[in-house]
Amino acid sequence: MTATAVPAVPTALLSVRVVERDAESRADVIPLRNGAAPAVPGRAETDAAGTDPDPIGPDPIGPDPIGPDPIGPDPIGPDAVAHLGATGKVGEVFALADGRWLLGIGDGEPVDLRGAGAALARALTARAEAVVSSATAGTDQPAVAPAVPTDLAIDVAGWPAADCCALVTGLLLGSHRFRVSLRAIPDQPTVRLLTTGTELAELTSSVATATELARATALARDLASMPSDVKTPTWLVETAAALAAEVPGLSSEIWSVERLAEQGFGGILAVGGGSARPPALLRLDWAPVGDRTDERHLVLIGKGVTFDTGGISIKPAAGMHLMRTDMSGGAAVIAAILAVARLALPMRVTALVPAAENHVSGSAYRPGDIVRHYDGTTTEVGNTDAEGRMVLADAIGYAVRELAPDLIVDVATLTGAMKVALGMRTGGMFASDDALASLVLEAGDRVGERWWRMPLLDHVAEDVRSDIADVRQTPKGPGGISAALFLRHFTKGLTWAHLDIAGPARCEKPYAEVGEGATGFAARTLVELVRVCTAR
Ligand SMILES: [Zn+2]
């Protein structure tokens, strides 16, 4: 157990192991489909006599929660299910008196299994935390400690790999917690997936990949959740570089504010100029050894605004605290390239994260300023709260000039307009190229992140031109689209996609595997995008 004020990054997650099922194996989790009684292999379903149904409630703790004979007749029959009130709906979790768990899996589709896995992980956490808090409170304790499983088994023999991966995603992300507190955090449990000897090797490999994908989401959440008193631009780039140093094949480079000034990163300097914490630029490179199955070079660029007051065009007070997550795009990019390297995917990938704090002071940039970017383009500033595109423009210009990549994908919490258009669960995707757009949609679909392609409208593009500079930062017209068209100016015609995650990067009301706060959205899509590219 740990009790620290600021959690180390990454935070610990539940762990999953794949093991071969044998005669001694007992599954601790009974999946229940919508409207169906649970199927428990090898056991007759008897009546409910002798059971002590024990849903999670005010008193989930019986005198002997494991029961006298767990291998005895199966107590979970249709009557018992009815008695519990279980319907099989995704998210239903019942702790049974014999120590097992009944888990609603809906229709058993991957989307359901992600939600079910997360619900089970949260139920385990809730129980463990109840025990920890009562233990630390020093109050009268029951003579028998409640059952907090540190290890439990789910029988997945015969399940398609995609279903197992979805369950694993849910389990890991449901166990994710970011908390700055002196309250003790209980240790994370282990879940064993029981399978047959013939399926063991393949499932182990699939689950290892799913685990890396989920870890990417969780790390992106950790970075975005970190409060901005800790998370300066320097903290963000140095933390990412330290994590990269642990992964073979990844290299990192950091630009200080002095070097940014020498090399003309005017957008990053303008945005960071109002803060006492200097801006920075991070570059991470993954260069696979051996043959590449995709010869292209992909550059990922993520907005790294570590706090956004709006600058001189200051934001209203309500909701400003959420602006600590305004580097969620950068977090997704950092987490994704770490996972790409850990999975040793055979494609060259570079990540760029321009990091700055958009603050208010006498040295802050102003509406009406003209800023010169890395590639020499000048921008007429209209609103200092449109700072994301200012830092991204420098990074895109750097990528085009210095790296000449085949593909550029940028990710940013960029516009409130995209929240209005698509809500809080769907990312906006713009692409210069139909093939790249299809790949992003396919990747998102496979990992459970939803994207909707938005148009790059010609008549809006005309408004990006400025009379007194090359481009206007805040052209009139639809905000999400005009922001994308502003960025397109800097891509110089290279194949490019822009992901606006202003909506789904944050969550107010948890759903499925997504918890409250920073969601880590886009990290899995980016990793899967590379997997999809390299699998062809
Ligand atoms: Zn802003």
- For residue 239, give the CATH number of its domain: 3.40.630.10
Domain-located, residue 91: yes
pLDDT digits (tens, 9 = 90+) for 5-23: 688 899 999 999 999 999 8
Contact 326, 305 (CB under 8 A): yes
pLDDT digits (tens, 9 = 90+) for 451-485: 999 999 999 999 999 999 999 999 999 999 999 99
| Domain C-terminal end among 163, 180, 215 | 215
Domain-located, residue 432: yes
Together in a domain, 373 and 466: yes
Residue 1 reports pLDDT greater than 80: no
Number of structural domains found in the chain: 2
- pLDDT at residue 434 in the model: 98
Domain-located, residue 521: no
* Cα(472)–Cα(463) distance, integer angstroms: 8
- pLDDT at residue 137 in the model: 58
* Cα(492)–Cα(432) distance, integer angstroms: 11
125 or 59: which leads in pLDDT: 125
Together in a domain, 241 and 195: no
Together in a domain, 269 and 187: no
Helix (H/G/I), strand (E/B), else coil: 268: helix
- pLDDT at residue 37 in the model: 61
Residue 133 reports pLDDT greater than 70: no
Phi, then psi, of 231 in degrees rounded to 5:
-85, 75
Write out the residue range of the structural domain in which residue 349 sits.
Answer: 226-492
Looking up tokens 């770490």 gives 338
* Cα(466)–Cα(420) distance, integer angstroms: 27
- For residue 138, give the CATH number of its domain: 3.40.220.10
Domain-located, residue 379: yes
Q: Minimal CA–CA distance to 46: which of 87, 80, 69? A: 80
Highest mean pLDDT among 50-59, 134-143, 203-212: 203-212
CA of 314 to the centre of ligand 1 (A): 9
Q: Six-digit token pair at 329?
A: 């795009």
Domain-located, residue 75: yes
If one counts every other C-beta atom within 10 angstroms of the C-beta of residue 309, the result is 23
CA of 4 to the centre of ligand 1 (A): 31
Domain-located, residue 289: yes
User: Which H or E run contains 307?
Assistant: strand 304-308
Together in a domain, 116 and 245: no
Together in a domain, 186 and 230: no
What lies within 8 Å, CB to CB, of 183 at 6+ separation is: 3, 132, 133, 136
CA of 428 to the centre of ligand 1 (A): 17
SS3 string, 457-523, reads CHHHHHHHECCCCCEECCCCCCHHHHHHHHHHHHHCCCEEEEEECCCCCEECCCECCECCEECCCCH
Active site residues: 315, 389
CA of 381 to the centre of ligand 1 (A): 13
Looking up tokens 């991957």 gives 110
| Domain C-terminal end among 215, 244, 271 | 215
pLDDT digits (tens, 9 = 90+) for 159-190: 999 999 999 999 999 999 998 887 777 889 99
Together in a domain, 341 and 409: yes
Mean pLDDT of all residues in 249-257: 98
Together in a domain, 236 and 377: yes
Mean pLDDT of all residues in 356-381: 98
Mean pLDDT of all residues in 353-382: 98
pLDDT digits (tens, 9 = 90+) for 259-299: 999 999 999 999 999 999 999 999 999 999 888 989 999 99
| Domain C-terminal end among 168, 194, 215 | 215
Contact 127, 113 (CB under 8 A): no
Together in a domain, 337 and 381: yes
Together in a domain, 202 and 265: no
User: Which H or E run contains 371?
Assistant: strand 370-372
pLDDT digits (tens, 9 = 90+) for 66-100: 333 333 335 567 777 878 889 999 999 999 888 89
Contact 532, 407 (CB under 8 A): no
pLDDT digits (tens, 9 = 90+) for 98-108: 889 999 999 99
Together in a domain, 184 and 280: no
Together in a domain, 397 and 419: yes
Domain-located, residue 508: no
CA of 395 to the centre of ligand 1 (A): 17
pLDDT digits (tens, 9 = 90+) for 490-522: 999 999 999 999 999 999 988 999 999 999 999
Looking at the DSSP assignment, which residues form a beta bridge with residue 93? 103
Together in a domain, 431 and 333: yes
* Cα(324)–Cα(487) distance, integer angstroms: 23
Domain-located, residue 20: yes
